[in-house]
Structures are given as structure tokens and as C-alpha cells.
Amino acid sequence: MKKRVYIIYTGGTIGMQPTSEGYAPAPGYLAEQILSMPELKSELMPEVEIHEYDPLLDSANMTPEDWYKIARDIGNHYNNYDGFIILHGTDTMAYTASALPFMLEGLGKPVLLTGSQIPLCEVRNDARANIITALTVAANFNIPEVCLCFGNQLLRGCRSVKVSTDGLDAFASPNLPPLGDIGVEIRIHKNLVLPAPQSTLQVQELKQVNVGALPLWPGIPAQVVRNFLQPPLQGLILRAYGVGNGPTNNADFLAALEEATARGVVIVDCTQCLRGSVHLGDYATGSALARAGVISGFDMTAEAALAKLSYLFSQNLPVDEIKRLMQTDLRGELTN
Ligand code: ASP
């Protein structure tokens, strides 16, 4: 029997058309093009249903409300389909791919995000191959995870980052090898794929919470940090240097962090480096941050850490429990 795949089309370059202001989403166009693809007649292809969102969004306009809408949509159709594909803009695809695993607790089916760097309407494009590959993976492989399927790679969603503005392999998961390589054959590395869940899917709510991210830069004024940490901020991803270091020759900077953590703000240290992990005890400039109450984000991407913080604050957990869970691997997002 043919597998059934539910496609959610949220917007993005993949289905855009040229306008006088540059590429913009074009309602109706992409669904029509996909449904008329001759490839869909192949035995390897699943039956598809396409749900086009209104309005279609350039992903630069997406918010956590949109992440939650996608999670609910998957939850509502979960029992009727074997897999799910989310067609999404590339700009914030890694954020959505990082947030969905936390909301989709007990996920036992593939949820694949894809999009393209060149729209399907252009003669030379990466849209067609990305759609066909995602459909092939969703219909033929047992991957109980949220993944980003793009170019030659299948990546764990909550490990992914956008690394290229114009390359066709636009994404990477710098701290985890790809779950699959898309070449002449599609090779899934089963040893890396998460095990099937013990429980059935439960969509966890994502509320409007006040979290943010702030990069350090040499000479960052303490007042900027203090202002950023003002209420209603509940949590901060601090993008620090190297293994998680920050300036210790600025007592007011450290005081601003300490005042905030004492008020219950959760400050998570994630590195500005693309690869590797935070080790707060390696340098005096990291230990001082830990003493100010900052916790380690280990090797989480800033995207995953921000999404995880949003999810944990949505659960109404005590601050100490949020801190503990931020440092615990929940969905394959962290190694410690
Ligand atoms: N601005 C577009 C978006 O993220 C870029 C893309 O899809 O490649 O929606």
C-alpha cells in the first residue's frame, strides 16, 4: 500500500515568484506544481496531501506562534499519515527545526523540513530535488525524528544551522554528523537516528515567553547587558567566546549577570564558535560567568537553546528545574 505524506507549505523561496520588490510568496502556485510532477506517479512516491498556509510567509516573518501552529497541525493529522514534510523558508528553518522536536513529544514518524535557495519557478533550481528527496525519505525510511532534509544531507533538526546564504548545501549540523547522506543512494546512518519513542505523540504547548539571545563583543558595555536583562526577560542565550568565556576585567558586566540570575533569569552560555562545546571551568574568564549564575549550554546551537528555553518556560516549571533540563539532553540536541 502507498504511504501517505502530509505536506505543510508555510512559505519561503521554494514557492515564490518574482515581483517588482523581489521574490514573494505566490498562493496556489507551489501546490499546483507539486501535484502535477510526473515523479509523483512512481511507486516509490507516497500519496500526498498539501496544506497551504494563509498567509504564506517569508520565514523572516515567522514567530514561535507559527512553530506551535505547525506542531498542532502535525498533531491533528498524526494518525492519518506516515510522514510529514514542512516546506519552509531557509532563513529561519533551523529555528523551526529546533523548536518542533520539543513540542512533538513522543514523535514516532518522520517530520522533514525542506525548502530551497532557488524557487521552483526558475529553470535551474534546487526546489524540485529537495521536494522529491524529502518525499522519498518520508515514504521509505523509518526515522522518528524532526529532520532538515536539504541538498545532500539529512540533518537532525535541533542540531541544524543555516551556514550559507547562497550555497545549495545551505545547512550543517556542526556538532553531529548527518543522519543521512543523499547521493546516488540515500544512506541513513541508523546508529545516529533516535530510537522509536515509548509513548505516543503528545503536542506540548508553546506559550509566549520572554527569552532572547545576546552576543558578546569586545568592549560590550555592562549597561547594554543590564538593559537587555530587565524584566520581563525570563531567559537569555549568551553567545560567549570560545569555550564559553566572557570579560572578567569588567566587574559591572559580571554584576549585571549576577543581579539577573539572582532574580531568577536563566542565562545559558552558548559559544559563538560553529563547532565544539562550552566548558565553563577551562578558563578563569568562564569560571567567573559560572559564579555569576550562568549555566552551560554545552554544544547546543543557539537556535536549539533558544527554542528549548521557550519550551521549558512554557511548561511553567520552577527555575531550578528549567536550569537542570537546559543542561540535560531531551531530544538529541546536546552532548554533555
Ligand atoms: N527569505 C526566504 C525565507 O526564509 C529565504 C528562503 O526561503 O531561502 O523565507
Contact 151, 171 (CB under 8 A): yes
Average pLDDT over residues 323-332: 98
Report the predicted TM-score, pTM, of the whole model to 2 decimal places.
Answer: 0.97
Domain around 96: 4-203
The total of other beta-carbon atoms located within 10 Å of residue 174's CB is: 14
The Cα 38–Cα 33 span in angstroms is 10
DSSP per position, 114-177: E--SS-TTSSS-SHHHHHHHHHHHHHH----SEEEEETTEEEEGGG-EE--SS-SS-EE-TTS-
Question: Are residues 19 and 90 both part of a single domain?
Answer: yes
Q: Is residue 44 over pLDDT 90? A: no
Q: How far is CA 179 from CA 123, 150, 173, 188, 193, in A?
A: 30, 12, 10, 6, 6
Question: Are residues 279 and 221 both part of a single domain?
Answer: yes
How many angstroms is it from 238 CA to the middle of ligand 1? 26
Helix (H), strand (E) at residue 50: strand 47-57
Q: How many CA atoms lie within 13 A of 127 on its CB side?
A: 25
Contact 87, 115 (CB under 8 A): yes
Atom of ligand 1 nearest to the CA of 117: 8
The Cα 245–Cα 282 span in angstroms is 9
How many angstroms is it from 12 CA to the middle of ligand 1? 4
Question: Are residues 320 and 257 both part of a single domain?
Answer: yes
Greatest CA span in the chain, whole angstroms? 67
Provide the 8-state DSSP code for 241: B
Last residue of a domain, one of 203, 230, 260: 203
Last residue of a domain, one of 203, 221, 256: 203
On whether residue 335 sits in a domain, the answer given is no
Question: Are residues 314 and 176 both part of a single domain?
Answer: no
Which domain CATH number covers 290? Answer: 3.40.50.40
The Cα 197–Cα 183 span in angstroms is 29
Cα 301 → chain centroid: 9
Q: Is residue 266 over pLDDT 90? A: yes
Question: Are residues 82 and 196 both part of a single domain?
Answer: yes
Report the pLDDT value the prediction gives residue 139, as an integer from 0 to 100.
95
Last residue of a domain, one of 176, 203, 230: 203
The Cα 64–Cα 208 span in angstroms is 8
Torsion of CA 253, 255, 257, 261, to 10 degrees: 180
SS3 for 88?
Answer: coil
On whether residue 334 sits in a domain, the answer given is no
On whether residue 333 sits in a domain, the answer given is no
Report the pLDDT value the prediction gives residue 7, as an integer from 0 to 100.
98
Question: Are residues 83 and 126 both part of a single domain?
Answer: yes
Question: Are residues 56 and 154 both part of a single domain?
Answer: yes
Average pLDDT over residues 212-230: 98
| Residue among 23, 63, 91 to mutate when testing ligand 1 (max atoms within 8 A of CB) | 91
The Cα 253–Cα 66 span in angstroms is 35
Q: Is residue 99 over pLDDT 90? A: yes
The Cα 271–Cα 119 span in angstroms is 33
Q: Is residue 1 over pLDDT 90? A: no
Question: Are residues 290 and 319 both part of a single domain?
Answer: yes
Atom of ligand 1 nearest to the CA of 93: 4
Atom of ligand 1 nearest to the CA of 116: 8
Q: How far is CA 188 from CA 149, 180, 193, 334, in A?
A: 12, 4, 8, 21
Around ligand 1, the residues with Cβ closer than 6 Å are 11-13, 58-60, 89-91, 115, 117
Least confident of 21-25, 89-93, 194-198: 21-25
Contact 165, 75 (CB under 8 A): no
Average pLDDT over residues 158-166: 98
Active-site position among 10, 13, 285, 301? 13
| Residue among 58, 88, 116, 169 to mutate when testing ligand 1 (max atoms within 8 A of CB) | 58
Provide the number of structural domains found in the chain: 2
Question: Are residues 18 and 164 both part of a single domain?
Answer: yes
Whether 96 sits among the annotated catalytic residues: the reply is no
How many angstroms is it from 61 CA to the middle of ligand 1? 10
